[in-house]
Amino acid sequence: MELAHDLGGREGFGSVDVEPDEPVFHEPWERTARALVFAAMGTHPDPTTSAFRHAIERMDPGHYLASSYYEHWLTAAATIAVESGVVAPAELETRAGGAFPLARPAVQPEIDGTGTQRFEVGDRVRVVAAPHGGHTRCPAYLCDRTGTVTRVDGRFSLPDVEAHSTERVEEGTYGVGFSARDLWDDAEPDVVVHVDLWDSYLEPA
Amino acid sequence: MSTDHHHPAEPAPIERRVAALEALLTERGLVSPGFVDEVNRAYEEDIGPRNGAKVVARAWVDPDYRRRLLADSTAAIAELGFGGAEGDHMQVVENTDSVHNVVVCTLCSCYPWPVLGLPPTWYKDPAYRARVVREPRAVLAEMGCQLDDDVEVAVWDSSAEQRYLVLPQQPAGTDDLSEDQLAELVTRDAMIGVARP
């Protein structure tokens, strides 16, 4: 399953649109939306960055791709506030005077995590993480690809578990380098893509 | 997006949605007066790419600092007083004659806030996130940064806890500039890796 936010290597988006001398915020609503995320996260029973990211990732793919960054933040804030029970969807629509799209409900993935640190710098590793419908930080473009561990960063909480429960599985995370040509046949030559991955996403190659 | 800030006839749907959530969270005691300013003011006034530029300029003038910066980036950046949210685990990556570094977050928009502030729109948009891992030379060329064919490109996808800052090469002929003057040469885009100073 490919999710809208998991964009690495996907085609058809055209050129990068750069705005010279861009302000920090373009409209007052953007700075309000940013702040509302912090307020809404205060109502979450287990407020982690993983839970926040997952609220954005659960947006309808069409809505995600058609809306700006701060609309993602607003949608996540409202979704979290609704799921925490502090506001109701009908109240939001009444106040807004129209539709107020929220993210879809979370699907609890079945993943335990390895909880270990199995790899060292120089090890060849294959990415085995299968998309499980929940939150993950393993980009889809790495599925079944082989790379080399270039850095060991210590143990961090596995997002796939943390986003969905109050449990924590701490495990090794690594910087892993991949030749772009091993990821896409038509990638440019002499490009190394470095991705930071949890132990659970990897197996020895 | 409207550029007329003076007398909008009617709020846009997104403005009404933001106002709706803000009003409801305020009524429930979750947003206090001044909260929006409190959350954002530092990023509008203090925290931005000038912080990162000071780090780069120090590394250019002080070889010992450069060594510390590459060995333990978080600690060396903290020496200049910068740290905090989205900067707790920093990795500075150094451009050389043979390697050019560029930073992305393909899954969302992870970015080193304490040294660069909040990210520009292009960094958050699908085109950059989709393309720069697969065809970085083409993306950089479009953005005005031509790389020689014999330069390897290292793309850093910020998918876990580490946040990346590119240490650009010091431009030729700037050896007699002061540290402050050098910092003026360092742009946000050079520290993301889509430009050179």
Q: pLDDT tens, B61-95?
A: 999 999 999 999 999 999 999 999 999 999 999 99
The answer to whether residue B110 is catalytic is: yes
CB contact under 8 A, A42 and B17: no
Asked if A125 and A205 count as a contact pair (C-beta separation under 8 A), the reply is yes
CB proximity A89 to B under 8 Å? no
Q: 3-class SS at B57?
A: helix
Contact list, B157 vs chain A (CB under 8 Å): 8, 139, 193-196
Query: Residue ranges of chain A with pLDDT lower than 70?
Result: 1-2
Asked if B69 and B76 count as a contact pair (C-beta separation under 8 A), the reply is yes
- B13-192: what fold? Nitrile Hydratase; Chain A (3.90.330)
CB contact under 8 A, A15 and B142: yes
What is the pTM (predicted TM-score) of this model? 0.95
Compute the distance between CA of residue A98 and CA of residue A187 in angstroms, rounded to an integer. Answer: 44
Compute the distance between CA of residue B27 and CA of residue B49 in angstroms, rounded to an integer. Answer: 37
Compute the distance between CA of residue B20 and CA of residue B18 in angstroms, rounded to an integer. Answer: 5
pLDDT value of residue B3: 54
pLDDT value of residue A203: 97
Which of A14, A32, A98 is opposite residue B22, by nearest beta carbon? A32
DSSP H or E segment with residue B166: strand B163-167
List, as own/partner pairs, every contact residues A28-34 make where C-beta atoms lie below 8 angstroms and the sequence separation is at least 24, other chains included.
A29/A70, A29/B14, A29/B15, A29/B18, A29/B19, A30/A68, A30/A70, A31/B36, A31/B40, A31/B44, A32/B18, A32/B19, A32/B22, A32/B36, A33/A70, A33/A71, A33/A73, A33/A74, A33/A77, A33/B18, A34/A70, A34/A73, A34/B39, A34/B40
Compute the distance between CA of residue A188 and CA of residue A199 in angstroms, rounded to an integer. Answer: 28
Determine whether A31 is exposed, middle or buried from the number of CB atoms within 10 Å of its CB (0-12, 13-18, 19+): buried
Which of A15, A40, A188 is opposite residue B127, by nearest beta carbon? A15
Read off the pLDDT of residues A83-116 as tens digits, 9 standing for 90 and up.
Answer: 999 999 999 999 999 999 999 999 989 899 999 9
CB contact under 8 A, B122 and A188: no
Residue with tokens 């804030």: A77
The answer to whether residue B145 is catalytic is: no
Asked if B106 and A7 count as a contact pair (C-beta separation under 8 A), the reply is yes
pLDDT value of residue B5: 59
pLDDT value of residue B6: 62
- A1-106: what fold? Cyclin A; domain 1 (1.10.472)
Cα separations in angstroms, B130 against A54, A173, A175, B54, B161: 19, 23, 20, 31, 20
Read off the pLDDT of residues A68-78 as tens digits, 9 standing for 90 and up.
Answer: 999 999 999 99
Strands A202-204 and A170-179: unpaired
pLDDT value of residue B8: 60
Residue with tokens 């085609």: A11
Compute the distance between CA of residue A17 and CA of residue A72 in angstroms, rounded to an integer. Answer: 19
Asked if A132 and A109 count as a contact pair (C-beta separation under 8 A), the reply is yes
Q: How far is CA A200 from the centre of its chain?
A: 16
DSSP state of B76: H
Residue B195 makes CB contacts below 8 A (sequence gap 6+) with B143, B144, B145, B187, B189
pLDDT value of residue B137: 98
pLDDT value of residue A133: 85
| Beta partners for residue A154, in sequence order | A173
pLDDT value of residue A191: 98
CB proximity A112 to B under 8 Å? no
Contact list, A127 vs chain B (CB under 8 Å): none
Compute the distance between CA of residue A134 and CA of residue A117 in angstroms, rounded to an integer. Answer: 23
CB contact under 8 A, B130 and A32: no
Q: Among all residues of chain B, which has the CA nearest to that of A90?
A: B20
The alpha-carbon radius of gyration of chain B (Å, integer) is: 19
CB proximity A81 to B under 8 Å? yes
Q: What angle do CA B34, B35, B36 make, to 5 degrees?
A: 95
**Is the ipTM of this structure higher than 0.95?**
yes
The alpha-carbon radius of gyration of chain A (Å, integer) is: 19
Compute the distance between CA of residue B73 and CA of residue A159 in angstroms, rounded to an integer. Answer: 24
Asked if A146 and A125 count as a contact pair (C-beta separation under 8 A), the reply is yes
CATH 2.30.30.50 for domain A124-204: yes
Which of B1, B16, B44 is opposite residue A97, by nearest beta carbon? B16
Domain residue extents for chain A: 1-106, 124-204
Query: Residue ranges of chain B with pLDDT lower than 50?
Result: 1-2
Compute the distance between CA of residue A30 and CA of residue A38 in angstroms, rounded to an integer. Answer: 13
